[in-house]
C-alpha cells in the first residue's frame, strides 16, 4: 500500500519542476508557435514538454502505474494505478500571456481519485489533497465556503468552445445565476476553478465539455475540502468531465436543481 501523503509531496516536486519550465518558456513564447488540434483546441511545445517531464518523474514514482494524459505523449495502461495529467490547463490563457494556467495531476486507484495536485504556475500556489488527508494550499489546510445559498455565492464557470449543441440551454443557467448570486467569473482553467471551490474563493463551479485530465485533481480537492462533486444529473461517480458541478455541501442541491431545470435534464 502506497503512502499517499508522501506521494503527494513527490507530485508537488514534479509539478514545480514542470512549472518552472513553463514559466521560463512564457518569457519568450509567441502565439505563432501554436499548433491547432481542433476547433479552438490549441497546443504548443510547452504543453508537450511539460507533459514529458511529468511522465518521466511520475513514472519512476509508481512504475506499475498507467497514464491518461491530454497530449498523449505516452500510452501505458495500469491495472491498479493511473496518472491523469493535464500538463498545462488553461492553454489559451497561456498563449495570450493571461493568467491563470495550471498543472493538474491526479492519481487514480482503480476508478477512484486518491491523490491530486493543482499547481497554479503564475500564482505559485500549490493545491494538494489525498484520500483521508484533507485539502491543502501551500501546506495550510483549506475548506470550502460556508455560504448557505446561491444568493450568498460567487459562481465560476467556463464557456463551451466546441460543443455548441447545449449552448442555448447553458445560457439559461448564466441568466439565472447572474440574477440570483454575487456574480459569475470565468478564469479559463477548470483545474483552477475546482481549486478555488476547495479553498472557498468561489462557492460553485460548473461546466460541460471537459475531460478527465481537466478535473481529476480537482475532484479530490473539492471532496477533501468538504464539498460535493457530480455531473449535471447528480451522479457523483462520473469522472468523465462531460459535465461537472462542484460546490460546498450547503448549496449543492440548490445548484443541482437550477442546472437540471435550465438544461432540461431528464
Domain containing residue 259: CATH number: 3.40.190.80
- Do 174 and 63 sit in the same domain of this protein? no
Give pLDDT tens digits for 124-135. Answer: 999 999 999 999
Please give the residue that has the higher pLDDT: either 79 or 181: 181
Residue 17 belongs to domain with CATH number: 3.30.540.10
**CA of 75: how far to CAs of 71, 83, 215, in Å?**
11, 11, 20
Contacts of 103 (CB under 8 A, 6+ apart): 15, 18, 19, 22, 50, 54, 86, 87, 88, 89, 117, 118, 119, 121, 191
- Do 137 and 162 sit in the same domain of this protein? no
Which long-range contacts does 231-235 make (Cβ < 8 Å, 24+ apart)?
Answer: 232/206, 232/208, 232/256, 232/259, 232/260, 232/263, 232/265, 233/260, 233/265, 234/260
Give pLDDT tens digits for 210-221. Answer: 999 999 999 999
First to last CA, the chain: 41
- Do 37 and 100 sit in the same domain of this protein? yes
- Do 10 and 138 sit in the same domain of this protein? yes
* Number of separate domains in the chain: 2
What pLDDT, on the 0 to 100 scale, is given for residue 39? 52
- Do 9 and 138 sit in the same domain of this protein? yes
Listed residues 142, 158, 179: the one ending a domain: 142
Q: Per-residue pLDDT averaged across 84-99, rounded?
A: 94
Please give the residue that has the higher pLDDT: either 76 or 248: 248
- Do 177 and 61 sit in the same domain of this protein? no
- Do 54 and 133 sit in the same domain of this protein? yes
> Could you tell me the three cell numbers for 185?
467569473
Domain that holds residue 189: 150-263
Report the alpha-carbon distance of residue 11 to residue 84 in Å, rounded: 12
- Do 138 and 217 sit in the same domain of this protein? no
Listed residues 114, 142, 170: the one ending a domain: 142
When pLDDT is cut at 50, 70 and 90, the band that residue 146 belongs to is very high
CB 53 within 8 A of CB 119: no
Give pLDDT tens digits for 5-52. Answer: 999 999 999 999 999 999 999 998 777 767 765 554 567 889 999 999
Amino acid at each position: 500500500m502506497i503512502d499517499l501523503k508522501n506521494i503527494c509531496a513527490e507530485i508537488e516536486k514534479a509539478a514545480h519542476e514542470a512549472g518552472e519550465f513553463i514559466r521560463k518558456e512564457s518569457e519568450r513564447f509567441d502565439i505563432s508557435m501554436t499548433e491547432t488540434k481542433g476547433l479552438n483546441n490549441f497546443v504548443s511545445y510547452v504543453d508537450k514538454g511539460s507533459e514529458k517531464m511529468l511522465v518521466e518523474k511520475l513514472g519512476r514514482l509508481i512504475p506499475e502505474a498507467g497514464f491518461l494524459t491530454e497530449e498523449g505523449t505516452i500510452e501505458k495502461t495500469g491495472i491498479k494505478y493511473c496518472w491523469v495529467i493535464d500538463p498545462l490547463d488553461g492553454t489559451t490563457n497561456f498563449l495570450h500571456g493571461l493568467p491563470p494556467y495550471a498543472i493538474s495531476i491526479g492519481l487514480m486507484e482503480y476508478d477512484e481519485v486518491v491523490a491530486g495536485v493543482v499547481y497554479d504556475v503564475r500564482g505559485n500556489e500549490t493545491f494538494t489533497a489525498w484520500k483521508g488527508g484533507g485539502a491543502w494550499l501551500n501546506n495550510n489546510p483549506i475548506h470550502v465556503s460556508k455560504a448557505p445559498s446561491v444568493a450568498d455565492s460567487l459562481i465560476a464557470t467556463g464557456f463551451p468552445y466546441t460543443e455548441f449543441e447545449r449552448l442555448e440551454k447553458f445560457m439559461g443557467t448564466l441568466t439565472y445565476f447572474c440574477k440570483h448570486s454575487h456574480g459569475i467569473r470565468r478564469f479559463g482553467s477548470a483545474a483552477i476553478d475546482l481549486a478555488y471551490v476547495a479553498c472557498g474563493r468561489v462557492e460553485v463551479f460548473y461546466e460541460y465539455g471537459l475531460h478527465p485530465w481537466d478535473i481529476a485533481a480537482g475532484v479530490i480537492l473539492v471532496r477533501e475540502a468538504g464539498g460535493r462533486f457530480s455531473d449535471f444529473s447528480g451522479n457523483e461517480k462520473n469522472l468523465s468531465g462531460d459535465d461537472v458541478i462542484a460546490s460546498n455541501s450547503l448549496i449543492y442541491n440548490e445548484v443541482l436543481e437550477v442546472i437540471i431545470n435550465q438544461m432540461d435534464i431528464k
